[in-house]
Amino acid sequence: MAINTIEIWTQASHLSAKQYVWDYCFSEILDISYTIHIHEAKEIFLKFEDKTMFMPDIFFERYPKTFHQILWDELQPQNPKSYTNPFTQEEIIGLYAMDRHFDVKEKEIHCPIDIFGSIFFFLTRIEEYFLSRDAYERVDEDQQFLIKHKLHEKPWVNIYMTLVENCFKHFGLPSKNLRSFSVIPTVDVDMRHKYLKSTSGLKEIGYLFKNARLSLVWDLIKDKIQYFKNKKDPYDCLEEMADMFKTNGLEGIFFFLPIHDAANATYELSHPEVQAQMEGIGRHHDIGLHLARNHSLELQLEKFQPKPKKMRAHFLKITFPNTYQDAISQDISEDYSLGYHHHIGFRSGICYDYPWFDIRANQKTMLRIFPLCLMEIAVDGYYPKINPNEFWKKSEQIILETKKYNGNFVFLWHNSNLKTAIWRPYRAIFERFIEQ
């Protein structure tokens, strides 16, 4: 046996699902190899030499033989329990967990939390198969476990994996987490121009009047006068953003919408101006598919040359598992849609990219998920009320959490929110994001 190999002892059920989590946690992230052994005991044993970590197997004990037999009321986590992490003394939560403390001895660690079942719960987004949807057919965020319990601003999967790492360090087996922090700036190109018509902007003015944001109305009017003076549209800044990313040594992703209709883009992808713009930006950055609503993926991809490998759904509208199954069948290899539209933080509980597991088909797939940590309009809405200082403080929390685990800070800033009067005061924050 190689010196850095651990043995995992488990019951024989749900092995493909468990192996997905172990492959990811041990082989990919901690660089610890493992062998699987079957036993009758209910708990999972993780053995290194003569030392053992014991862990409950609560999630998979409740998980029926097939996905179709799941009764969500029986499988969903109850209220989270609070524990003290024995290595950092910080609070750690358990969603599938026992009522006992951590017990750390020289050769034995008893962990009350079902760590691998919980990681499976977070990464697969299994709850999103069962929760109700909003008007845009998105899963209601407020019903999601992490939001419901105000736990969404911490990456719990990373916290759990660090705990496992610390347990094995305690046993004398250090891991080699070779990751480094990275910033991945992304832009969803929903609109290329604000002032397409002379009436453009009126709806916004109406909204601001209604919501008593009168200083913003004046800003908007000044904005429009500026436009008529110099014809420089405030949404027309894709090249400027691309240059800023490049100056900071970053590769951004620009997601273009291939469908021009009321529910999607306000531009035609095939227009020579758009094609030239994509070509220019594509020299240093990636061009991705911004998945349009209500149109087949195959048809959308045909509008690109070459076909993109990365995608993000417009309105972050993902339907599990269909959207991802379609994506895989069309050779999409990376998705950037898993983020919140009304909150900031970690929807999959993680700040690393990871392979998507199709729970219906019960198999790991080739699709890689890059969770979105923060979208600018989710920090405080389309017309932010908090001042730039507060805006930065809220955002910084997410950056600090991501840095702590050497994760990917994937953020989205629309080109429509860089140069308008309303968003101009927040531009320095966008700049700080890319200077991290």
Positions touching Zn ion (CB under 5 A) are 188, 190, 314
Nearer to Zn ion by Cβ, of 312 and 364: the residue is 312
Sign, CA torsion 375/376/379/381: negative
Please check whether residue 109 is in contact with residue 167, taking contact to mean a CB–CB distance below 8 angstroms.
Answer: yes
Shortest Å distance, C-beta 339 to Zn ion: 12
Nearest to 8 by CA among 29, 112, 43, 30: 43
Question: What is the DSSP secondary structure assignment for residue 307, as one 8-state letter?
Answer: P
Shortest Å distance, C-beta 314 to Zn ion: 4
Ramachandran angles phi, psi of 6, nearest 5°: -110, 160
Closest-by-Cβ residue to Zn ion is 314
Shortest Å distance, C-beta 410 to Zn ion: 15
Nearer to Zn ion by Cβ, of 347 and 364: the residue is 347
H or E element in which residue 202 lies: helix 202-210
Nearer to Zn ion by Cβ, of 263 and 299: the residue is 263
Nearest to 53 by CA among 164, 173, 172: 164
Shortest Å distance, C-beta 54 to Zn ion: 47
Shortest Å distance, C-beta 239 to Zn ion: 20
Shortest Å distance, C-beta 188 to Zn ion: 4
Nearest to 419 by CA among 183, 184, 195: 195
Nearer to Zn ion by Cβ, of 192 and 224: the residue is 192
Nearer to Zn ion by Cβ, of 59 and 315: the residue is 315
Crossing angle for the helix pair 238-247 and 427-435, nearest 10 degrees?
A: 40
Distances in Å between the Cα of 310 and the Cα atoms of 168, 252, 299 are: 36, 12, 16
Nearer to Zn ion by Cβ, of 189 and 351: the residue is 189
